[in-house]
Structure 1
Amino acid sequence: MINLRYGVAGLFNLKMNRVIFILFLLVLSFNKTYSQDKNFHIYICFGQSNMEGNAKFEPQDTVAPGQRFQVLEAVDCPDLNRKKGHWYPAVPPLTRCYTGLTPADYFGKTMIANTPREVSIGVINVAVGGCKIELFDKDNYKSYVATAPDWMINTINAYDGNPYHRLVEMAKLAQKEGVIKGILLHQGESNNNDTLWTKKVKVVYDHLLKDLNLKSNTVPLLAGELVGEDQGGACAGMNKIIAKLPLTIPTAYVISSRGCEGVADKLHFSAAGYRKLGKRYAAKMLSLQGYANINPE
């Protein structure tokens, strides 16, 4: 029987009000578990050994930066008391458990030194020494892995055989807490003289934008030069190809390595070189965000 007090319309409205109330409670519950901080700026870092971190970090590099600079651990590191998918103060190593100093270290330190105190910085670093850019091609990486040397396979396996997937997995976790503001790349030694490199990088960049629902005009790509001619760089000629990246990706910017100290193998930077290069990545990012007069040295 229909309740005469309310009538058919009244009962419908009563039920709708209950549904709306339940939905409201669900939204409140969701907001408590998924709260994105617009002032937590996330930067994705990837590449090969120079992004991985080849130089041993020194005491000056291990000074804790405080809570404003964090790293999202991409692998489990029991000896460091770090777990994959958790944030920690950004004290090196920032890539894996036993890697060295990277450009990301001083990128982050320079960012927090030149942004308002309410802004904090987070980095995600997934890099594999010796790899070609093809390793980060989500559609074709398997064919590259199939021919990779055993020593590289061990590193690839640290990311469950798919470094690109791990990078996206960690980035999606980070997006629950902050906003991705840029992508940092250092790679090219293993693609030395590869004239298709810029197009291959674009494939990876486009995939990252799509998989993370990002827009190129708000998420620039910063690519660092390899050890330069002034340091006798073994792959310095590749810098001419890297210089053309903005022609393929209009939102890409090249970070100069001139004056960044290299080491004896002519492929990697010293700790001093990484510090300077990292500061230059930050100076460019800061300038793109409207900050002026940042001297990267």
Structure 2
Amino acid sequence: MFSHSFSQNSKFYIFLCLGQSNMEGNARIEPQDTTDVNRRFQVMEAVDCPNLNRVKGQWYTAVPPLCRCKTGLTPADYFGRTLVANLPKDAKVGVINVAVGGCKIELFDKNNYQVYADTAPVWMKGMIKEYDGNPYARLVEMAKLAQKDGVIKGILLHQGESNTGDTTWPQKVKQVYDNLLQDLNLDAASVPLLAGEVVNADQGGACAKMNTIIDELPQTIPTAHVISSAGCPQKGDNLHFTAEGYRMLGRRYAAEMLLMLGVKINK
């Protein structure tokens, strides 16, 4: 059972986001996505971004991009916006997004990531380097900073395309989740894992068969919740969502989280 008892700076809810390109944000950011972002929705920058006047480890109003300096719209955008629109006015939401386009879940394996990183394609190595070669360690580093300001209330995952067909994927995800809980001194009952499906078969998803494996995640992680991608439009490459698809998916992540928090959603 998910516990929503609040402690320390409990009015600041923090969420860790990780995965590959769909969590990184592949769609072009549209004007509607950069306006009227509530200051109660914050992002902790995980890399230095001079082009955005952002410094690693600092909080900023969550105007996209929310991953690295030149990434696109991500589910985290409308996840956070939906939360602040429904939570009490004195509550804030913060996200930390560490994601690498195209990566397998093995890149977030605390003990064996180097094996994968060393064999990653050249185009991916630059993204990995932005996290000093270890995205998992960067996520933990930022999360520990964030814990000084608020309480980690959930972990958002969107990954799977690069592991399509891998029936051991749920166990690999469990290892990442368990390591995060241990390294950040978190209790699984209070910090659920929300995992989004890849582009659905109803949208011609090239990796849609992976959703069968993703859907089984709660059997391996009792505190995992799967977020449906049904009806979320893709951009034409059968792998990545459109901006509207990310908005829809982000709102669905938020609806599930609000349900666990016992918050009635404003229509």
Shared topology, TM-score over 0.5? yes
What residue number does 1:132 align with? 104
Aligned partners of 1:283 and 1:294 also within 8 Å: no
Q: Normalising to structure 1: TM-score of the pair?
A: 0.86
CA distance in 2: counterparts of 1:95 and 1:59, whole angstroms: 18
Q: Normalising to structure 2: TM-score of the pair?
A: 0.96
Aligned partners of 1:188 and 1:226 also within 8 Å: yes
Aligned partners of 2:20 and 2:102 also within 8 Å: yes
Residue segments in structure 1 that go unaligned for 5+ positions in a row: 1-35
Residue 37 of structure 1 deviates from its aligned partner by 1.8
Structure number with greater CO (CA < 8 Å, separation at least 6) is 2
Larger Rg: 1
CA distance in 2: counterparts of 1:69 and 1:269, whole angstroms: 23
Give a deviation string over 1:258-295, Cα, whole Å, max 9, x none. 01001111000000000000000000000011123566
> 1:1-297 alignment to 2 at 5 Å?
36-293=8-265
Aligned partners of 2:42 and 2:61 also within 8 Å: yes
> How many equivalent residue pairs?
261
CA distance in 2: counterparts of 1:56 and 1:65, whole angstroms: 17
When residues 208 and 157 of structure 1 are mapped into structure 2, their CA distance, relative to the original with a 3 A threshold, is same
Give a deviation string over 1:205-253, Cα, whole Å, max 9, x none. 0000000000000000000000001100000000000000000000000
Counterpart of 2:161, as a letter, is E
Secondary structure of 1:41's aligned partner: strand
Residue segments in structure 2 that go unaligned for 5+ positions in a row: 1-7
Counterpart of 1:218, as a letter, is S
Give a deviation string over 1:167-200, Cα, whole Å, max 9, x none. 0000000000000000000000000000000000
CA distance in 1: counterparts of 2:135 and 2:266, whole angstroms: 33
Residue 66 of structure 1 deviates from its aligned partner by 2.7
CA distance in 1: counterparts of 2:266 and 2:122, whole angstroms: 43
Counterpart of 2:248, as a letter, is K
Secondary structure of 1:236's aligned partner: coil
CA distance in 1: counterparts of 2:78 and 2:154, whole angstroms: 15
CA RMSD after TM alignment: 1.1
CA distance in 2: counterparts of 1:241 and 1:97, whole angstroms: 32
CA distance in 2: counterparts of 1:233 and 1:63, whole angstroms: 31
CA distance in 2: counterparts of 1:105 and 1:84, whole angstroms: 19
Give a deviation string over 1:11-50, Cα, whole Å, max 9, x none. xxxxxxxxxxxxxxxxxxxxxxxxx521000000000000
Runs of 4 or more consecutive aligned structure 1 residues displaced over 3 Å after TM superposition: 292-295
Aligned partners of 1:228 and 1:236 also within 8 Å: yes
